[in-house]
Each structure stands twice: as C-alpha cells, then as structure tokens.
Amino acid sequence: MIESPLPDGESQPPQPGFMHRRDFVVGGIKVGVSMLVMDWLRMPAFAGEQHRTTILPVHLNDSINIIANYLTRYTPPVGDFPANGAWKASYDLLEWTGTPGKVPSTNRTIGNATITRRADAGAIGYDLDYTLRLYGWETGLKSSMQCSTGPIPGLVKWQTDYENHSMKGQPSSLALTENGEHRDGVLTISSKAGTRHFNTTRPVAPQWAILDAVRTAKPDPSDPVAGIEFDYLYDLTSYRPRQKLRPAGRLDISLDGTAHQFHGFIQTGIGSVPTHYWVDAAGRPLIFTGGLVCSGLASIQPA
C-alpha cells in the first residue's frame, strides 16, 4: 500500500545527518518568483532608450529578450538531431544579469549541460552531465535515464548523482545518490535521505525529454503533442504535475548576419515558470528560456 504524500511530497522524512534535497531548489524558487513578478508588472527584460548603446537583435519577444546580449555573439552550431537516433548535445547555461530600465550587462555563461540520447531497444535513454555555478555554489548532476517512447518520453527508471559545494571555501557540502522508478502509476524516488512517492497515471518527463518533443512537434495547435498532459521532474529534483506544451508563435531573427526563422513552444503547468523552447527550421532546439537561467545550444554531434 502506497503512503499518502506529505505536503512536500514525502512519505518518509529524511534521516538525521542527511540534507534534504529541497536545498537544491530554493534558488530556483526565488528565480521563479522574481520572473512571475516581472510578468505581472509587464516589464520587458531590457527597456529604455539607453540600450541603443548595444546593438541587439530586432523583433525579439519578451521570452527571448533576457538573452539578447548572448544572441549578439551567438552562431548556431553545425550538426543534426537525427530522428530516432543517437546524438550528443551540449548547452551553455546562461545567467540573465540585466535589470529592467538599466543598461544590461552581458549574459554570463555559468555552466554547461551535456545530454546524450541513446536509442535503446524499445526505449529512449538519456545521459546527463550538468554543472551550474551560481550564487557562490557549484551544483553537479550526473544521471542515466531510461524513458518510454512516445511524443513526450516519460521516465521509467533512472539513477542520479548530485553534488553541491561552496566555491568560497565554506565547509557545507552535499553528495547524494538517488534512484527513481515509475511503475504502475506510482513514481518512487529513493536515497539515504528518504523515500518519496507520487501517484500519477501521466508520463513523467525530465526536462531533457522535452527536447525530443519539440524536435518533432509541428508549430500547429492541432499537433498531437499540444494535447498531451504530462508531469515534470525538473532537474530530476522538483516534481511538477499537469504540464502542457503548446505552440508559441514564430520569430524571424538574424544571428551572425544570417536570417533564421524560429518556431516557439511554451510549457506551462503547476509549479512551473513558463518555459519557452525555440527551434530552428530543421527542428533543432537552439534556445530555451525560463527563469533567470537559460540555455543555448553550443554543439551537436552523433553519439
């Protein structure tokens, strides 16, 4: 019999001597709140006549405006995401350091995420190597995931190793290994720090599986992906139910002197800051933004 989840989704409290995983996501919550406040105030990310001192791409909407300075030096890499095949993609993790109404500084690269897609028999596999340096802390995340096939791949089984340590010599640090499984409508996440259970009949997608979804989706509300409701395990840490992915328009942009046409998709749902994914004409997910940490495709190659 599955225990009923506690308010934070735990069925068993952490054991003494172990740090709770919510410490991994406190910064993300703060980021999310700040972006929601900006959305409520209808503040553009970069506004004001003084920004004409920097030549920014034109026709940007608010979802991509926050990395406008990154785009001034961005050239999409060469390479394909082969359909139903194996690939290895590396993304720059970017910090938005601008302030509404003030001249923006450049978007700093504060980490890297490398995702390797495996074409397993009857399944899809992802290997993740992720490092983020923010607010004086370095967070590392390595994971091997097995997912179901389908328009939005859902987690079946995975193992994740976390590390979190101070870059300023503070003694506090964290290392934790977790194992997860989604079977018979129950999502179970276990480690020495405790066990959590979630009851769900929907696919539970890691954010990296969304790359597969938008890579093959059509920018049309009638596309089947737009009608799928799924759950979400952000950074394989934060469980967020009832998500949807839908088309979000077209963007014509010039990058490094070359004209591009992007098609957008937006993910929304319980507990999530709206996240935009921008794919090029070849269906490659180049840019995705949501909160104050955004991503830009740096390289793509066969795995």
Per-residue pLDDT of 69-107, as tens digits, reads 888 889 999 999 887 789 999 999 998 766 544 555 578
Q: How many domains does the chain have?
A: 1
Residues 6+ apart with CB under 8 A from 235: 24, 25, 28, 130, 141, 207
Domain containing 152 equals: 21-302
- 121-147 burial, b for 16+ CB within 10 Å, e for fewer? eeebbbbbebbbbbeebbbbbbbebbb
Output the pTM of the full model.
Answer: 0.78
Q: How many CB atoms lie within 10 A of CB 19?
A: 15
Is 16 inside a domain boundary?
Answer: no
Q: Is residue 10 one of the residues assigned to a domain?
A: no
Report if residue 2 sits inside a domain: no
Mean of pLDDT values over 128-141: 94
**Does 3 fall in a domain?**
no
258 within some domain:
yes
149 in any annotated domain: yes
Kindly state whether residue 124 falls inside one of the protein's structural domains. yes
Q: What angle do CA 227, 146, 218 make, to 5 degrees?
A: 30
- The answer to the question of residue 202 being in a domain is yes
Q: Residues 22-74: pLDDT tens digits?
A: 444 444 444 443 433 333 333 333 332 233 334 556 556 778 888 888 888 89
